[in-house]
Amino acid sequence: MAPAPQRPRHRRMLTLTVRAGERVSPHFRSITLGGDDVRHLERYGYDQSGRLFFADPGNDDVVLPTSERWMLQRTLLSGRRRPRVRSYSIRRFRPETSAFDIEISLHERDGPDAPGTAWALAAEPGDQVAFLDEGYSYRPTAGAGWQLLVGDESALPAILAILEDCADALPAEVFLEVPADDDIRRDVTAPPGTTIHWLPRGVDADSPTKPGSLALRAVRNARLPEGSFYTWVAGEAALAAGVRRYLVGERGVPRSDITFRGYWRHGRAAL
Ligand SMILES: Cc1cc2nc3c(=O)[nH]c(=O)nc-3n(C[C@H](O)[C@H](O)[C@H](O)COP(=O)(O)OP(=O)(O)OC[C@H]3O[C@@H](n4cnc5c(N)ncnc54)[C@H](O)[C@@H]3O)c2cc1C
């Protein structure tokens, strides 16, 4: 069995305001969310994430949820009054200003819709959102001598937060796929002995590479360090499942040493 995710002990629906937005690199926008309600957010760190509720740009009719029973509240609303909901990781806490940052990957849209990306591009100070903590899943196994962290761009915020939060702990081999060279981060804080393999896809309209496939191939071809290790992998569903299948099937890694999370599915919108 994979380690169980850590659900928040106490949580409530937070009403927050966009404080700032900043383009971090060509395919990432960082958004700072803040407000008094941040005091109710338990700080776990690692890949802690939550559901973000928001309105499409220009839609003032949306009713944001006010309770953890958001599903019911949302079902009772229709059309323009129904909020959008997408999951995002907490990239950085800013307790001194009652705020935290999320980082949203601005991905290509193969259909007309990708409300999370559209919201991230348009978000500006003063916009209201709601946020519900979902806890975290990074649970290194006892006895691991190092860790393998794998993801595509949707998992970049979580992986960078994990590396920062366990800076004194296990050295990591990191395989991180990003859309382009300019999305590579140069200033990463990580445990000593960590190696980050950045895998930019680049833009090639004639033979577009499916997100996640570079990272999966790189892990399969990697010479990994000796000794027992913990794996955390997230991103496109085929990447997460593929890494796990490879490690278990071809390298004999116990399932219990792997946390894998399908964050999104190619060709399918969330919710
Ligand atoms: C626990 C958790 C934490 C997450 N943390 C983050 C985070 O910190 N930052 C972040 O950017 N994402 C994160 N994600 C992933 C994000 O929630 C999904 O990518 C989401 O589907 C994006 O919503 P959208 O409205 O932009 O696109 P959707 O409306 O869901 O999808 C529209 C189309 O775009 C495709 N698509 C969706 N996501 C991507 C993508 N990332 N790259 C390329 N194509 C895509 C879909 O397959 C679909 O064809 C997280 C997901 C989970 C479950």
Over residues 44-100, the pLDDT tens digits come to 999 999 999 999 999 999 999 999 999 998 999 989 999 999 999 999 999 999 999
- DSSP code for 190: -
Report the C-alpha gap between 34 and 12 in whole angstroms: 15
pLDDT at 208 over 70: no
Q: 107 in ligand 1 pocket by Cβ < 6 Å?
A: yes
Continuous segment of H or E residues that includes residue 75: helix 70-75
Residue type, 83: P
Mean pLDDT along residues 102-122: 87
Residues 185-200: tens digit of each pLDDT:
999 999 999 999 999 9
Q: Which residue has the higher pLDDT, 247 or 167?
A: 247
- The answer to which of 17-21, 77-81, 150-154, 211-215 has the lowest mean pLDDT is 77-81
pLDDT over 80 (residue 110): no
Q: Give the CA angle between residues 209, 117, 244 to the nearest 5°.
A: 45
Task: Please tell me the distance from the alpha carbon of residue 221 to that of residue 224, in angstroms, as a whole number.
Answer: 9
Residues 6+ apart with CB under 8 A from 21: 29, 30, 31, 32, 120, 123, 124, 125
Residue 153 Cα to ligand 1 middle (Å)? 9
- 100: Cβ below 6 Å to ligand 1? no
State yes or no: pLDDT of 203 exceeds 70: no
First to last CA, the chain: 27
Residue 267 CA to ligand 1 center (angstroms) comes to 11
Q: Is the whole model's pTM more than 0.85, yes or no? A: yes
Residue with tokens 């700032």: 20
Q: Is 48 in the pocket of ligand 1 (CB under 6 A)?
A: no
Per DSSP, 268 falls in state: B
Provide the pLDDT for residue 209: 83
Q: How far away, in angstroms, is 21 Cα from ligand 1 center?
A: 18
CATH architecture of 14-135: Beta Barrel (2.40)
- Residue tagged 């601005």 (tokens): 106
Instruction: Write b or e for each residue in 204-215: b if 16 or more Cβ atoms lie within 10 A of its Cβ, otherwise e.
Output: eeeeeeebbbbb
CATH of domain 146-264: 3.40.50.80
Q: What is the pLDDT of residue 112?
A: 58
Q: How far apart are CA 199 and CA 214, in angstroms?
A: 7
Structure letter (DSSP) for residue 81? G
Residue 85's CB is within 10 A of a number of other CB atoms, namely 19
| Nearest-angstrom CA–CA distance, 164 and 158 | 10
Report the nearest atom of ligand 1 relative to the CA of 104.
11
Summarised one tens digit per residue, pLDDT across range 152-193 is 999 999 999 999 998 668 999 999 999 999 999 999 999 999
How far apart are alpha carbons 180 and 71 in whole angstroms?
36
Between CA 43 and CA 39 the distance in angstroms is 10
Q: Please tell me if the CB atom of residue 263 comes closer than 6 angstroms to any atom of ligand 1.
A: yes
Q: Which residue of 264, 265, 271 sits with most ligand 1 atoms within 8 Å of its CB, as the best mutation to test the pocket?
A: 264
The arithmetic mean of pLDDT across residues 257-261, rounded, is: 97
Q: What residue segments make up the domains of the chain, in order of their start?
A: 14-135, 146-264
